[in-house]
Structure 1
Amino acid sequence: MARSHPYNFAHVLLPQLAWRRPSAVRRELSDPYLARELLQYIWEKAAENLPAAETVPPKGLRLSWHEVAGRVTALFHLPLPQATMEAYYSALVYEEEEPLETEAEEARPRYFTLEATLGLSGPAGTPTMIGEWAGEVHRHLGRGPGGGQPGTAAAFLEILASVLGPLPDPGVPFMRVVRS
C-alpha cells in the first residue's frame, strides 16, 4: 500500500493545483526558483496532517521540461517509491505552446503518472504502470518501463508520446468538448 505522503503529493495535490490554476502554475514552474519553492510547498502540504513518522524526505524531488509529441511537458522526478501506487515520475502535458492570458480560456493540462506495481524486480527494473488522472478518474493505460533504471524517465516520455499521438494539423478542424 502506498505511503500517504508521496501518494498525496503525486495523486492529489499536484494535479489539483495544476488544474485549478493552469496558467499560473505553468508560469511558476517555468521559473527555476519559483518551481523549487512551489514543489517544496506542495511536498510539505502533502504531509501536513500526517504523523511525523509518516513523512518522507523530498530526496530526488525535482522538475525537468521536455517536448513530448510536440507538447510542452513538465516531468516531475519523485522520491524513489517504496510501495505500489507510489509514482516514480508524473507529468503535466500542456496542449498550448504558451500559457493563455485569461483564466476563462485556460485548458487543463493532462496529468500522467508512472507508478510502481506488484511484481518481482528483475534486470529490467521494477514493474510499473502508466496512469492518467482526469479529475477524480484514474485510468490505467498499461504497463510502463522498468522502474529504477537509468533510462526510465526517457522511456516514460516515449510512452507518453505514443499515448498523446501527433498534434492535429492546424488547418484541420477538430472537435473539442467544452464544459458549460
Structure 2
Amino acid sequence: MTDPRPHHYRFVHRVLPRQVLEFGPRVTTPAPDGGSLLPVLTGIWDDLGQSLPPEDRLPSRGLDCRHLATDDHTMLLVTLPAPVGATEAHFAAAVHPRGAKAVRYLTLEHALNPFDGSVGTVLGEWTTESHLNHGPGPSPVAELFVAAVAELTAPKKRRFWRR
C-alpha cells in the first residue's frame, strides 16, 4: 500500500467536504432541470490539479456522481477515480437526513489492516471540526456504501423501557 496521492487526498478530504458543508442541503437535491453536478465536480478536481506540481496531478477519469433519495434522506453519491493509497476514497456522499438542518459528508476510504496487511475499507466522516472514523466499511461497491451511509444517518428512534 502506498501513501495517498496529494490530488486524490486533498480533493476527498479537504476540498469536497468544505464545498459540501458550505453549500449544505442544496448539494443533495437534483437541479430542477435534471442537470448533473459532474461538470462542477470535474471543474473542482481540475482546478485543484492546477494548484499542484505537474507530477502530482491526476486525470478525472472515473469521477462521477448521481443524486439518490429514500424516505429518510437525499444524497449526492460521488464515485472517485480508483484509489491507490491508504485513505484515498472509493466513494464520498453528501447526505441530508430527513428533518436535519445540516448535511453530513461521508467517505469510504481505502485501507490497509496494520496487523495482517489485508486490504479493506473504512467508513469516515468529515464535520466542520474534525474527521471521524466509523470503523470498517463495506466492500467498495456503491450499493453497499449507500446502505452503510443510510444506516449510519437514519434518524434514531427513541426507545422507552422500564427497569
- TM-score of Structure 1 vs Structure 2, range by shorter chain: 0.7 to 0.9
Q: Please tell me whether the aligned partners of residues 30 and 67 of structure 2 are also in contact (alpha carbons under 8 angstroms).
A: no
Q: Where does the alignment leave 5 or more consecutive residues of structure 1 unmatched?
A: 98-105, 170-180
Which residue does 1:39 correspond to in 2? 41
Q: What residue identity is the alignment partner of 1:161?
A: A
Query: Deviation per CA, 1:86-110, whole angstroms, max 9, x where unpaired?
Result: 000000001358xxxxxxxx93310
Query: Deviation per CA, 1:101-139, whole angstroms, max 9, x where unpaired?
Result: xxxxx9331000000011456xxxx40000011114001
Indicate whether 1:116 and 2:94 are aligned: no
Task: Give me the identity figure in percent.
Answer: 29
Change (3 A) 1:66 1:27: closer
Question: How far did residue 161 of structure 1 move?
Answer: 1.9
Q: Please tell me whether the aligned partners of residues 27 and 94 of structure 2 are also in contact (alpha carbons under 8 angstroms).
A: no
Q: Where does the alignment leave 5 or more consecutive residues of structure 2 unmatched?
A: 159-163
The counterpart of 2:133, out of the listed 134, 137, 140, is: 140
Change (3 A) 1:129 1:30: farther
Q: Please tell me whether the aligned partners of residues 69 and 165 of structure 1 are also in contact (alpha carbons under 8 angstroms).
A: no
Separation (CA, whole Å) in 2 of partners of 1:165 and 1:20 = 22
SS in 1 for 2:43: helix
Q: What residue identity is the alignment partner of 1:114?
A: L
TM-score normalised by the chain length of structure 2: 0.81
Deviant stretches of 4+, over 6 Å: none
- Pairs aligned (count): 153
Q: Please tell me whether the aligned partners of residues 69 and 164 of structure 1 are also in contact (alpha carbons under 8 angstroms).
A: no
Separation (CA, whole Å) in 1 of partners of 2:137 and 2:128 = 22
Which residue does 1:88 correspond to in 2? 90
1:21-170 paired onto structure 2 within 5 Å: 21-26=23-28, 33=35, 35-68=37-70, 70-96=72-98, 107-119=101-113, 120=117, 126-147=119-140, 152-166=141-155
Question: How large is the Cα RMSD of the aligned pairs?
Answer: 2.6
Separation (CA, whole Å) in 1 of partners of 2:29 and 2:150 = 23
Q: Please tell me whether the aligned partners of residues 68 and 157 of structure 1 are also in contact (alpha carbons under 8 angstroms).
A: no
TM-score normalised by the chain length of structure 1: 0.74
